[in-house]
Amino acid sequence: MSTINETIEAEDGATRRDFLHVAAAGMAGVGAVMAAWPFIDQMNPAADTLALASVEVDLSAIGVGEAVIIKWRGKPVFVRHRTEAEIEAARAVPMDVLVDKQPDAERVQEGHAEWLVVLGVCTHLGCVPLGTKEGDDRGDFGGWFCPCHGSHYDTAGRIRKGPAPKNLEVPTYAFVNDTTLQIG
């Protein structure tokens, strides 16, 4: 054996056998990772879960100052018909008091400032904040209040007080016509 190794030893001391060992182990490693991937990826959302259709909302039924909860992709979406006072309150907030700085105009679509559409999922740990139904506690800023760990959101769905790090997420949506909203 030693004579064989000596004859094929390269100048830097590495042998052909060393190279074969490393190459084989490397390929086995790549193979192991490739074999593991299906077992990890099967946990991700399946095709039928991803294919959940978008939902349409009839806006004519929601009066000024009212809000509804729509179920979309298993999650609640808040659609709120804001009053003039609520819009102005949201616009009047100076940027530097906000945790997640975003002007009200970026939270709604142009020409539809009265409609605020946000995911009803607290950005802290995923509870559904109160404030959509009449008589709910709307928190210190007139928007939503999360009962789990005490996060307060304002009338633009922005986080103002409490442990949540971000504003309520705005989902993809479009106005199909004046009275129909499509989420997703």
Partner 1 sequence: MAEWNAAKPKNAVAAWVEERLPILSLVNNVVGVDTPTPRNLNYWWNFGSLAGLMLVVQIISGVVLAMHYTPHTSLAFDSVERIMRDVNYGWLIRYMHANGASFFFIAVYTHIFRGLYYGSYKAPRELLWMLGVVIFLLMMATAFMGYVLPWGQMSFWGATVITNLFSAIPVVGESIVTLLWGGFSVDNPTLNRFFSLHYLLPFVIAGVVILHLWAKKISDSGNPLGIDVKSNADQIPFHPFYTIKDAFGAGVFFFVFAAFIFYMPNVLGHPDNYIPADPMVTPASIVPEWYFLPFYAILRSITFDIGIPFTDIVFIPAKLLGVLAMFASILVWLFLPWLDTSKVRSGKFRPTFRWFFLFLVIDMFVLTVVGGKKPEGIWPLVGLIGTAYYFAYFLVILPLLGKIEKTLPLPESIANPVVKAAE
Q: Among all residues, which ones are annotated catalytic?
A: 149
- Among the listed ranges 12-20, 22-30, 103-111, 140-148, the one in contact with partner 1 (CB under 8 A) is 140-148
Q: Is the CB of 89 or the CB of 153 nearer to partner 1?
A: 153
For 105-116, give one letter per residue: b (16+ CB within 10 A) or e: eebbeeeebebb
Q: Closer to partner 1 at the Cβ: 129 or 142? A: 129
CA-to-CA distance for 182 and 173, rounded, in angstroms?
A: 6
Between residue 158 and residue 177, which ones bind partner 1 under the rule CB under 8 A?
163-165
Q: Does residue number 125 form part of the binding site for partner 1 (CB under 8 A)?
A: yes
In the complex, least distance from residue 53 CB atom to partner 1, rounded to whole angstroms = 13
The residue count for binding partner 1 (CB under 8 A) is 27
User: Sheet harboring 151-154: ordered strands across?
Assistant: 142-146, 151-154, 159-161
Tokens at 94, concatenated: 């100076």
